[in-house]
Amino acid sequence: MHAWPASEVPALPGKGRDLKIHDTATQGTITLAPGPVARIYVCGITPYDATHIGHAATYNAFDLVQRVWLDTKRQVHYVQNVTDVDDPLLERAQRDGHDWTELAERETVLFREDMTALRMLPPQHYIGAVEAIPGIVPLVERLRDAGAAYDLDGDVYFSVESDPHFGGVSHLDAEAMRLLSAERGGDPERPGKKNPLDPMLWMAARPGEPSWDGGSLGRGRPGWHIECVAIALDHLGMGFDIQGGGSDLVFPHHEMGASHAQVLTGEFPMAKAYVHAGMVALHGEKMSKSRGNLVFVSALRRSGVDPAAIRLALLSHHYRADWEWTDAVLEDAVARLARWRAAVSRPDGLPADALVEEVRAALSADLDAPAALAAVDRWVELQLAGGGDDESAPGLVSRTVDALLGVAL
């Protein structure tokens, strides 16, 4: 699949700092010092509805990661998937009488437009589950041949007991895992499984559902976790820097994915850091396609909201916080954007070298975007109150805000 166009990232004077980031697996903050090419995998959308503010907030967090790395003069190798075949997509298409491929294609097009408008940097590899199937099948065969997967009425399950590190991403107890598994696509109640938590790797073809040639597995379609593992290993290899997604992916998705990869390769860990964004709520509940309490990025754009204001609204919350979308959040962002634009449109201003370092310091410390905004706010207030005579300052502030925060002033 093709991704979306990249907006240019201005180079800043000097060099940024290495990223310190909270890692779910070690339950602490670690300093990542990637080589010249930093590697990141971020779980993509299941395209059965438009991009909502919750999605955008999660992708914003990982966009900041890349901007921090680029500022350290590294290259970034970024991979993202599209879960373009899965139960929720098929169910939605069936419910609405649409062709599932057309639904997936339409929503993926819209997602690309939203990401472009929000100035999110595109992945180098943007891979659909369907196009990944030829790479998934041999992985499932290998797991089965190694005794880490088993057949149940034609479906193939991964045995969580085959990974000595299983549980090391989420640190949940068995009961919590069972509940989350049932809630998030698993089938802990299915009789015949070796362990109720075992996730499906390959689902045998069901009548009326799409299916693909699975070689020795028979016709069917891939499970959700192995999809991301196959794409990540194919394009990044083991030991990449960050596996990213929202906190609703900690279990089972990222736990299972790590186990699949570790059993397949015999290496540990799959990713140096497992990074999770908090959940955005609307009217007191997590914004979710299944609940339908959504604010769409595309709807805001259509109603005339500047995407830069949406981006500032996302940035005004720490990525790890759970937060609530309200009209006031957006109004504050619109007002902030206007102030910032007024401040940088003056011909000269207060020297801004210290501000560049403050923004760098804030973002490298576990992506503290609210602290970065506060630093810019301070410069802006002084600038609007009178400013100085440094002709290069307004341009430097614009470039800093663009390069590190993805906001075009």
User: In the complex, which residues of this chain contact Zn ion (CB under 5 A)?
Assistant: 43, 228
Smallest gap from residue 84 Cβ to ligand 5CA (A): 9
Q: How far does the chain reach from its first CA to its final CA, in angstroms?
A: 31
Does 194 engage in binding with ligand 5CA (CB under 6 A)? no
Q: Which is nearer to ligand 5CA, 223 or 387 (CB)?
A: 223
Does 60 engage in binding with ligand 5CA (CB under 6 A)? no
Does 58 engage in binding with ligand 5CA (CB under 6 A)? yes
Stretch of residues binding ligand 5CA (CB under 6 A), selected from 11-19, 39-47, 201-209, 214-222: 39-47
Stretch of residues binding ligand 5CA (CB under 6 A), selected from 98-106, 169-177, 281-289, 376-384: 281-289
Stretch of residues binding ligand 5CA (CB under 6 A), selected from 89-97, 100-108, 116-124, 242-250: 242-250
> Of the candidates 25, 34, 41, 54, which one interacts with ligand 5CA according to CB under 6 A?
54
Query: 60 touches which of Zn ion, ligand 5CA, none (CB within 5 to 8 A by kind)?
Result: none
> Of the candidates 90, 160, 287, 310, which one interacts with ligand 5CA according to CB under 6 A?
287
Q: Which is nearer to Zn ion, 64 or 228 (CB)?
A: 228
92 sits in the region (left: phi over 0; alpha: psi -120 to 50; else beta) called alpha
What one-letter code names the amino acid at 155? D
> Of the candidates 288, 316, 326, 392, which one interacts with ligand 5CA according to CB under 6 A?
288
Does 110 engage in binding with ligand 5CA (CB under 6 A)? no
Query: 46 touches which of ligand 5CA, Zn ion, none (CB within 5 to 8 A by kind)?
Result: ligand 5CA
